Amino acid sequence: MSVTSPLIVFYSAKSGNTKRFVDKLGFESIQLDEKEPTNVDRPFILVTPTYGGGYVDKAVRPSVIRFLNNERNRNHLKGVIGTGNTNFGSVFAIAADIIAKKCHVPVLARVELLGTDDDVLNVTACINQLFDTL
């Protein structure tokens, strides 16, 4: 049994797709604020959409960058889940790839918009498995 229960930290835009997906997962979660700093002192999974309209240098939101620039937060990051729209082709959910590479953590999943029932089942299982090993 896991000593640490799963925690999801996420960024969601006004569309609310990422928040709706995270809510369906049913884990404890913290939404990043655009202005107020967020500090996390336990292991977590980051869920973030991709922005920038296909421009890779704009894919990660500034609030997510600020959050991860805090070494204490970054040290607790265990994996990333990317959300987005498959209409963006090769840059679909690329923010997750950028963050994973920079922070040396795995991309656990890529989910379109607010995710399907299968996405929820698969991601929940993945998160539970990861946290069972912590």
Instruction: List per-residue pLDDT tens for the chain, 134 residues long.
Output: 445 789 999 998 878 889 999 999 999 999 998 888 999 999 999 999 988 766 677 789 999 999 999 999 999 999 999 998 887 777 888 999 999 999 999 999 999 888 889 999 999 999 999 998 87
Check if the beta carbon of residue 18 is closer than 8 Å to that of residue 47: yes
For 7-132, CATH number? 3.40.50.360
Alpha helices, H only, the chain: 17-25, 62-69, 71-76, 94-103, 117-132
Per-domain residue ranges of the chain: 7-132
- H-helix or E-strand containing 88? none
Is pTM beyond 0.85 here?
yes
